[in-house]
Each structure stands twice: as structure tokens, then as C-alpha cells.
């Protein structure tokens, strides 16, 4: 019975110890704790306002409540961030940086919110007025500050920083998300106001910390001229090889050994395998899927949407701390894997299959960057390893997806087997580092 009660409380999002978790950036969250909520006597007027909203809900307000109440708060902001990235058509590495920044802020803001909630333990409006009918299942966490408002304040400020042309839109959404809890009867006005302010302060600190991450430094190097190396003009994002990772000590911490040299026994075997690959309809379809639907500039979308679906399947709709931590871990792993992978690519400048043997016929155009290691293999292995750690019952599914993503690059004729193996090894090593060094 005791275990069942604990399970129910966790599903309801209680997690009273979450405020004691360590953070990625902000340090001691107790230093950010808002002033105490209004006393019960002062809160009487606030409760009257909550009652007025409950009595005047219309179709539009119910729709807004339902929209912002779907899934844990990080879920909706992740969707909005993905939409903005897809609209802008940014490259994988830029998207990975944006999503890591967003979800580190959401994680730290959630920890700060839970610290304040259990410091003050303010009852929910419905606990004071039993006649009040909420439009949502009210979490059993304390009311102050509003967790949805904290997440909204943090997310909107990060997105406004990353997409300044949409800053007003993101901030309007934050106000709407926070107000939805007041309309739903789940929070007081002061819960919402304190939450927005706390989230914005966390976002400010996270943004300030990452302004010197190297992403503003242009590449000033040159493509090597030696025989047997990758050749081409305007390689994709070589500067990403020097960006600052979150969990790794540096871009080169996990750098793999050099790739097989052209003419070596290993490279000869790899080239023979490419010539012998049977490009069946299933393999061709998989290669096209991982290139155009779930790869290239969309790989971040695939792994984030998979995480969002998994959170909902595991019924973590109201578990804001666990969801925020999951999103941060997956996106930090994707970003660090991107940086580590590009460090290796632009250290070795490994030749692509079509450059080594023009008789090969790739299924689609080879990406304009060096071959070793495979980016798809790095990203997929890193994301799948973190997801398997978080949701072990689904580990086989995550691993199968990562493996197909990796193998599809060989089926398409754009990578050697050694590229795939190095990428998967590197991606898994990045995931281990992220899990070892992540806040607890």
C-alpha cells in the first residue's frame, strides 16, 4: 500500500525532493527563491479572483487551458521550439545548441520552482475552497510559485534570445501559458506572477553563461590539400568543432583514433563492402527516411518527438521535474555529440566514399563535410543511450532506431563501415559522460 501511494504521488508530480537537485548553471536555487506568498488573509481577494475566472470560463479559455495542460510543461515548449527551428531551417548543430540551451533553462527553472514550492507549501485554491471546480487535474504539489509559469518564463526568454524577431510572440505565449493555470483554477495570481519572474531570472543566467560558448566565432581555417583527404568548398560548419560542450571537458575529450588510411587493408574491406551492398527496397526506403524525414537538419526533431511521445506513454504528464531532466539530458547529449563528432571530422578530414572511388553511385548527394565519423551514428547512438537509461523497458526500440539510422548511411553509399562504428562508439561515450556529469 505504501509503495502504491508513493507511485501515485510521483505520477501526480509531487517529487518533494526535486528542489534539492543540482542544476546545470544557476548554482544554489535557494538564492533565487521568491518572497513568501501572500498571507491567507491577503489571499482572500486572490481566491475571489480565481472563483470569478472559474465561473466565466468559455470555449476559448477551455481550449487554452487544454492546450497548455497537455503533457508536462517542457513538452509544449519543446514543440514550439521545434516549430521555430523547422521554420528557420537551421542546421542540426545550431538546432542542437538551441534545444540544449532551452532545456537546461527549463530544468534549472523547474528545480528552482520545486525548491520554492516546498519551502512555502502554499495550499492550492481548491484546498481552501472545496467548492471550486478546476478545469484540470490539479497536481498535489504546493501552489506557489506556479510550475507552468516558471517554465513559461524561462522558455520564452530563451526563445526570445534565440529568435529575437519572434521575441514578442514568445513572451505573449508565456503570458498565455501562465494565465491558463489561473483560468483553470489551479493557481493564484501571485503564483503566476512569481513563477514568471523566477523563470525569467533563471533564463537570464543560463543565457549569460552560454554567450561565450564559441558559436559566434567564424571558421578561419583551410581545407587540407593532401592526397587522400576530403576535398571540397565551403564545408558545413567546421567552426562547430570548437564550440564549448556542456558535459565534456572539451570537444576533443572523446576523440576517436584516426580513420583507416586509403589503401589500407581495413579501408579496402570497407570499400568492397560498399560495392557489395544490396540496396533492397526496404534499405533504400530506410536510407531516404533517415536522410529527409528524420535526418540531416531534422534529426533533432525526430529524437525530441520520440522523447515527447515516450513521456506521454509513461504517463508522466504531470511529472515536471522528471520531464525537464529527460529533455535536458537528451538535448545536451545531442549537442555534445554534435560537437565531438565535428571535432573528429575536422581533425582527420577523412575522404568520402565517392571521392575515393567515383564508380560508387550514392542514393542521394553526399553531405558536404568529411566522412569520419558518421554524424547520424553519433547523434542516434547518443540519443538512444540516454533514452534507454531513462526508459529501460523501451531500450530495444531506441537501440534499433539508432542502429537503422547508422546503417542507412552505408546503404545509401555515403559512409564506410569504419565511419559508422566510430560514430556509434563516440555517441555512446558522449551519452555516458552526460549521464555521469549531469546534475542529480
pLDDT of residue 16: 80
Q: Distances in Å between the alpha carbon of 288 and those of 267, 365, 405?
A: 25, 11, 10
pLDDT of residue 19: 85
Cβ neighbourhood burial of 228 (10 Å; 0-12, 13-18, 19+): middle
The per-residue pLDDT for range 185-224, each reduced to its tens digit, is: 999 999 999 999 999 999 999 999 889 999 999 999 999 9
pLDDT of residue 440: 80
The structural domains of the chain, with segments of one domain joined by +, span 63-210, 238-437
Q: Half-sphere exposure (CA, 13 Å, Cβ side) for 211?
A: 7
The per-residue pLDDT for range 146-179, each reduced to its tens digit, is: 999 999 999 999 999 999 999 999 999 999 999 9
Q: Which CATH class is domain 238-437?
A: mainly alpha
Q: What are phi and psi of 229, to 5 degrees?
A: -100, 165
Q: Is 18 helix (H, G, I), strand (E, B) or coil?
A: helix
CB 259 within 8 Å of CB 422: yes
Q: According to the per-residue pLDDT averaged within each range, which of 22-31, 203-212, 422-431 is highest? A: 422-431
CB 121 within 8 Å of CB 338: no
Mean pLDDT of the residues in the chain: 94
3-17, 192-206, 268-282: least confident range: 3-17
pLDDT of residue 14: 54
**pTM for this model (two decimals):** 0.95
pLDDT at 389 over 80: yes
CB 431 within 8 Å of CB 386: yes
Residue 439: pLDDT band (50, 70, 90) is confident
pLDDT of residue 317: 83
pLDDT at 262 over 60: yes
User: Under CATH, domain 63-210 is a member of which superfamily?
Assistant: Phosphatidic acid phosphatase type 2/haloperoxidase (1.20.144.10)
pLDDT at 225 over 90: yes
Which is more confidently placed, 224 or 19? 224
pLDDT of residue 39: 85
Residue 9: pLDDT band (50, 70, 90) is very low
Angle at 286 between CA 280 and CA 291, to 5 degrees: 125
How much is the average pLDDT of 246-254?
A: 97
How much is the average pLDDT of 410-427?
A: 98
CB 403 within 8 Å of CB 376: no
Domains 63-210 and 238-437 in one fold: no
Q: Return the number of other C-beta atoms located less than 10 Å from residue 425's C-beta.
A: 16
Considering all CA atoms of the chain, what is the largest pairwise distance in Å, rounded to the nearest integer?
Answer: 82
pLDDT at 386 over 60: yes
Q: Return the number of other C-beta atoms located less than 10 Å from residue 63's C-beta.
A: 11
DSSP 197: H
pLDDT of residue 12: 45
How much is the average pLDDT of 433-438?
A: 95
Q: What are phi and psi of 350, to 5 degrees?
A: -70, 140
pLDDT of residue 20: 86
- pLDDT > 70 in the chain, percent: 97
pLDDT at 242 over 50: yes
CB 188 within 8 Å of CB 182: yes
Amino acid at each position: 500500500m505504501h509503495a502504491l501511494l508513493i507511485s501515485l504521488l510521483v505520477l501526480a508530480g509531487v517529487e518533494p525532493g526535486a528542489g534539492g537537485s543540482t542544476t546545470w548553471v544557476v548554482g544554489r536555487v535557494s538564492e533565487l527563491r521568491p518572497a513568501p506568498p501572500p498571507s491567507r488573509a491577503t489571499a482572500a481577494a486572490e481566491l475571489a479572483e480565481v472563483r470569478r475566472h472559474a465561473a466565466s470560463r468559455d470555449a476559448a479559455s477551455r481550449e487554452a487551458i487544454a492546450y497548455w495542460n497537455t503533457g508536462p510543461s517542457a513538452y509544449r515548449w519543446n514543440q514550439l521550439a521545434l516549430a521555430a527551428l523547422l521554420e528557420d531551417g537551421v542546421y542540426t548543430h545550431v538546432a542542437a545548441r538551441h534545444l540544449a540551451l532551452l532545456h537546461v533553462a527549463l530544468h534549472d527553472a523547474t528545480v528552482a520552482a520545486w525548491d520554492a514550492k516546498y519551502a512555502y507549501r502554499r495550499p492550492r485554491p481548491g484546498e481552501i475552497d472545496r467548492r471550486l471546480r478546476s478545469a484540470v487535474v490539479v497536481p498535489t504539489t504546493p501552489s506557489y510559485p506556479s510550475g507552468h509559469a516558471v517554465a513559461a518564463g524561462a522558455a520564452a526568454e530563451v526563445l526570445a534570445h534565440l529568435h529575437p524577431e519572434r521575441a514578442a510572440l514568445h513572451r505573449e505565449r508565456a503570458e498565455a501559458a501562465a494565465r491558463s493555470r489561473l483560468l483553470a483554477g489551479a493557481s493564484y495570481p501571485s503564483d503566476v506572477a512569481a513563477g514568471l519572474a523566477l523563470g525569467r531570472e533563471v533564463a537570464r543566467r543560463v543565457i549569460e553563461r552560454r554567450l561565450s560558448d564559441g558559436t559566434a566565432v567564424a571558421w578561419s581555417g583551410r581545407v587540407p590539400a593532401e592526397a587522400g583527404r576530403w576535398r571540397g568548398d565551403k564545408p558545413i560548419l567546421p567552426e562547430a568543432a570548437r564550440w564549448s560542450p556542456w558535459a565534456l571537458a572539451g570537444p576533443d575529450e572523446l576523440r576517436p583514433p584516426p580513420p583507416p588510411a586509403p589503401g589500407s587493408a581495413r579501408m579496402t574491406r570497407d570499400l568492397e563492402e560498399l560495392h557489395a551492398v544490396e540496396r533492397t527496397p526496404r534499405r533504400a526506403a530506410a536510407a531516404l527516411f533517415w536522410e529527409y524525414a528524420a535526418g540531416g537538419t531534422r534529426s533533432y526533431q525526430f529524437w525530441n518527438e520520440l522523447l515527447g511521445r515516450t513521456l506521454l506513454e509513461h504517463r508522466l504528464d504531470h511529472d515536471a521535474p522528471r520531464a525537464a531532466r529527460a529533455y535536458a539530458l537528451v538535448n545536451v547529449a545531442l549537442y555534445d555529440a554534435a560537437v565531438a563528432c565535428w571535432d573528429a571530422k575536422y581533425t582527420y578530414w577523412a575522404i568520402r566514399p565517392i571521392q575515393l572511388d567515383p564508380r560508387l553511385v550514392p542514393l542521394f548527394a553526399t553531405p558536404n563535410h568529411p566522412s569520419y565519423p558518421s554524424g547520424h551514428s553519433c547523434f542516434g547512438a547518443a540519443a538512444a543511450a540516454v533514452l534507454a537509461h531513462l526508459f529501460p523497458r523501451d531500450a530495444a526500440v531506441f537501440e534499433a532506431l539508432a542502429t537503422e539510422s547508422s546503417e542507412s548511411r552505408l546503404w545509401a553509399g555515403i559512409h564506410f563501415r569504419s565511419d559508422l562504428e566510430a560514430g556509434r562508439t563516440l555517441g555512446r561515450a558522449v551519452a555516458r559522460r552526460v549521464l555521469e556529469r549531469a546534475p542529480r
